[in-house]
């Protein structure tokens, strides 16, 4: 995540003729400032810390709007609350054992997306769902246990 993504999101907002309210700016900048995968609650608490006058419900509504406009992506995961991201070029993998969330460039899925389109007439969209599996750490632990 980078500042550039925030600048781009704000530019899109303006190009659509929408107002850059404090809440909108705080949500975009908050998401741009972290590599963590933040839930609506965490984001709302950060923003309230800086701008106590912004209600939690305003933050939630702002997230909904930004998602609807395609500037922010909501990602669901199997355990725990959905998290939010500035719309960008990466997808997510979640470890079912330890909950670690990893970023994977969207281009890694290009072949799969193309094959599903060509062979199954299906347009895959994995932006809103983290893919579930197991991260490398546990394989190493198991190997140690087996010795
Ligand atoms: Zn793990
Ligand atoms: Zn991510």
CA–centroid distance, residue 130 to ligand 2 (Å): 10
CA–centroid distance, residue 101 to ligand 1 (Å): 9
CA–centroid distance, residue 23 to ligand 2 (Å): 22
Q: 3-state secondary structure string, the chain?
A: CCHHHHHHHHHHHHHCCCCCCHHHHHHHHHHHCCCCCEEHHHHHHHHHHHCCCCCHHHHHHHHHHHHHCCCEEEEECCCCCCEEEECCCEEEEEECCCCCEEEEEHHHHHHHHHHHHHHHCCCCCCCCECEEECCHHHHHHHHHHHC
Question: What's the pLDDT tens digit per position in 77-115?
Answer: 878 889 998 887 789 999 989 988 899 998 999 999 999
Average pLDDT over the chain reads: 89
pTM for this model (two decimals)? 0.79
Question: What's the pLDDT tens digit per position in 106-139?
Answer: 899 999 999 999 999 999 988 888 899 999 989 7
């Amino acid at each position: 995540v980078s500042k550039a993504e925030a600048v781009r999101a704000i530019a899109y907002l303006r190009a659509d003729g929408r107002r850059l309210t404090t809440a909108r700016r705080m949500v975009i900048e908050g998401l741009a400032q972290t590599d963590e995968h933040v839930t609506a609650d965490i984001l709302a608490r950060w923003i309230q810390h800086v701008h106590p006058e912004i209600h939690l419900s305003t933050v939630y509504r702002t997230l909904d709007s930004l998602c609807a406009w395609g500037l922010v992506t909501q990602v669901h995961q199997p355990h725990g609350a959905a998290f939010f991201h500035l719309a960008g070029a990466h997808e997510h993998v979640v470890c079912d054992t330890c909950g670690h969330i990893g970023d994977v460039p969207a281009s890694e899925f290009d072949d799969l997306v193309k094959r599903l389109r060509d062979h199954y007439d299906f347009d895959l969209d994995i932006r809103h769902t983290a893919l579930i599996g197991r991260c490398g750490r546990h394989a190493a632990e198991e190997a140690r246990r087996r010795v």
